[in-house]
A and B are shown apart, each in its own frame.
Chain A
Amino acid sequence: MQRPIAPVTRHVKVAIMEESELVVHGLRAMLEPHSALITVVAHRADGPAPLCDLTLYEPHRRTAGVRPAPQRFPTRMVAFGWDCSPEAVSTEMSRGAAGFVSKWLPARRLVWNLLQVADGRVVVDAWTGQAEAEKAAAEKWPLTQRETEVLSMIAAGKANRDIAEETNLSINSVKSYIRGAYSKIEVTSRSQAVLWAIQHGLLMSHEPEQTRPRVSAHAAR
């Protein structure tokens, strides 16, 4: 959803700290259409701090060899990262960041957020687009829960009679679910159904207590 650009009375200058040329130039190009409102300058930690309203930084990654996160905040510091997990956001906000904006954001939304932060508000926008993608995938999951359950048992090599017994369904119902599932996933043989089930995470353990697939988890794949 496109949000309107927040009205501002001044131009905002944003420094981007310790980033690759790719990101710096990419961000500049991305914000170029909004240059009346916002400009980007690069900032190296070993160089003089530019005069700016905000500084964007990549949040500290918990892997070895990564540069340290800023310890002091000469200007309002805004975390600007790919990792937008709740853990990453809470870590940066608890360290005193003025905001957290996702690197996945489209230009207008990013500008709007930065202007908000420059106005003194605390903004967290951890949108990645993935939640929508996952939701869309879940909505597109072609099988009902019963069909999913039966298909996972087929993939585990169970006979129809065993499936009927375990699911308390009649044989005809089991066969009907199998035909329905085959039709929906567009396969014509059990081998293809097994392959589809494996590719979609439905292959069950042989342990009886683990025989029920979790549809929502699979749906996200």
Chain B
Amino acid sequence: MELLPQSREALDEYVTASIDDMEGLLRVIEGWAVRSVPDCVALSVTLLDEDLTFTLVDRDATSVPAHDDDDAARHETREAGPGPPPGEAHPLDELDWADTARERAFGSIASTVSLPVVEHGRAVLNIDLYASTTYAFRDRIDGLVEALGAWQAGAVTNADLGFETLRRAQHAPARLREQRLIDVAVGLVAARMAVTTDMAALMLSEAAERAGVSESDAACVARVLLA
């Protein structure tokens, strides 16, 4: 499986003290998933606290035309001809690739399972697995739950046949950019107002609400005023 380009971008930006190697973790999950369910063609991992989703897709199984000759030929034709701007539908364009992957994946995905991972009584991670056959997960959920350390009672099948997690994964880089803006502004507010970062975050959030703007807009203003 390959990382969605947006997931690659998000992984570059995402840093946490608790997980040294997020991509490594994704690969471990992929390994367990593929070994347990040979028909598994995609998986998504969602960090619930951060509301971040990373997705891996098997391009061949989902018929995603990343490098096939037909697409390359179409691409060349568009570049040579008077049609739409070549960048608009470039096969390597990240958004286009993800959209195409999602659209084509609909046809390839016949069953899904969602496995929450619980720590200290709280769900921290959601693992979504997607398979190309209808009964791919039958009699295998127990094994997956054990292998992935998931919460058995929370396992749900066929809840995401529309591959919604892929859409969420597409938005991860934008979410991280927005969060970076907010984090820096919170640090600035905390320093200038001599308050804790928790208090500064609350102040920024309330200021955004009073002004009727998004938190990231308020963060931009705070940064300009306080930096």
Contacts and interface: CB of A to CB of B under 8 A. Distances in A.
A194 B17 contact: no
A95 to B, nearest CB: 44
Interface in A11-64: none
Contacts of B15: 160, 175, 178-179, 190
B197 A161 contact: no
Contact of B20 (A179, A182, A194): A179
Main secondary structure of the interface of A (DSSP, over half): helix
Interface string B171-185: 000000100110110
B227 interface: yes
Interface residues of B, number: 21
Most buried by B among A157, A178, A182: A157
Contacts of B42: none
A190 B187 contact: yes
Contacts of B12: 160-161, 171
B17 A197 contact: no
A189 B197 contact: yes
A191 B183 contact: yes
A195 B196 CA distance: 9
B180 A190 contact: yes
Interface in B131-188: 177, 180-181, 183-184, 186-188
Nearest to A178: B15
Interface residues of A, number: 25
Nearest to B184: A157
A198 B20 contact: no
A192 B187 contact: yes
A199 B180 CA distance: 19
A100 B203 CA distance: 53
A160 B190 CA distance: 23
B211 interface: no
Contacts of B223: 157
Contact of B17 (A155, A188, A199): A188
Contacts of B20: 179
Given A157-B181, A159-B180, A203-B227, A193 B17 contact: no
Interface in A148-177: 155-157, 159-161, 171, 175
B200 interface: yes
A145 interface: no
Most buried by A among B186, B187, B200: B187
Contacts of A199: 191
B201 interface: yes
A191 B197 contact: yes
Most buried by A among B17, B200, B223: B17
B76 interface: no
A159 to B, nearest CB: 6
B13 A155 contact: no
Contact of A192 (B13, B180, B197): B197
B51 to A, nearest CB: 15
Contacts of B13: 159-161
Nearest to A190: B183
Interface in B16-54: 17, 20
A183 interface: yes
A159 B17 contact: no
B200 A191 contact: yes
A194 B180 CA distance: 11
Nearest to A204: B227
Contacts of B188: 194, 198
Interface of B: 9, 12-13, 15, 17, 20, 177, 180-181, 183-184, 186-188, 190-191, 197, 200-201, 223, 227
Interface of A: 155-157, 159-161, 171, 175, 178-179, 182-183, 188-195, 197-199, 203, 206
Given A160-B13, A191-B201, A194-B186, 13 more contacts: A156-B184, A157-B181, A160-B12, A161-B12, A175-B15, A178-B15, A183-B17, A189-B197, A191-B183, A192-B197, A195-B191, A195-B197, A197-B187
